[in-house]
Homo-oligomer: A and B are copies of this chain.
Amino acid sequence: MKAKETIEKNQSTEELIKNAARRVFTKKGYAATRTRDIAEESGFNLALINYYFRSKEKLFDIIMLEHIQTFVYSIMGIVNDRNTTLQEKLQILISHYIDMLIENPNLPMFVLNEVNADPQKLVDKLGIDKSIQEMPYMLIQWKEMAAKTKMPAFNPVHMLMNIVSLTIFPFIGSPMIRNRTGIDVAAFNILMEERKKLIPIWIKAIMMSGHAEE
């Protein structure tokens, strides 16, 4: 897709260290990462990390915040788009996430891990809160649709869980899935590409299944 090795070219030392930190933190998590790992990965000396970022934790918080933004804010535009239907949003959203996850397969594990470690930090330290409070347009469309089709309207939380589960979990389980099934990363990614088309169909099927149940 992208010619991505023009990148490491004219970057400042600060950028290079941050990029190294991103790679190491994202892969190993906060506790298992040593500042020495980051130094080595960046090609610079250990002392530079503190020179630019004061401490391991401050550097981590920067990476963490960026990841949360990638994870959460990147979809705000999609779910609030007035010009797409619900089904279109679903397709775009899932496709967007799967692309992003193929690029950054360790991201979900990282984010969930650190949220797990300290759920309050999200709110306190990183200021994730205000802009996600109002109801996204997507949910409004959903409720309209449920009312119109006299669908038994599952708890929206269930549906949200279903979409997120089907999209993200395979990446979280990837090492185990590959370990057990023997498929490699390339084959795994092909499966994920397939899911871009399949998940929206499945979600629709799940929504319709309420009828049978009633």
Contact = CB atoms under 8 A, between A and B. Distances in A.
B191 A202 contact: no
Prevailing SS type, chain A contact patch: helix
Interface residues of A, number: 52
Nearest to A120: B179
The complex is assembled from copies of this chain, and their number is: 2
Contacts of A209: 201-202, 204-205
Interface string A132-169: 10000000000000000000001101100110111011
24 contacts: A29-B31, A30-B32, A31-B31, A31-B32, A109-B113, A112-B175, A112-B176, A115-B179, A132-B180, A154-B198, A158-B191, A158-B194, A158-B195, A158-B198, A161-B170, A161-B191, A162-B166, A164-B169, A165-B165, A165-B166, A165-B173, A201-B212, A202-B209, A205-B205
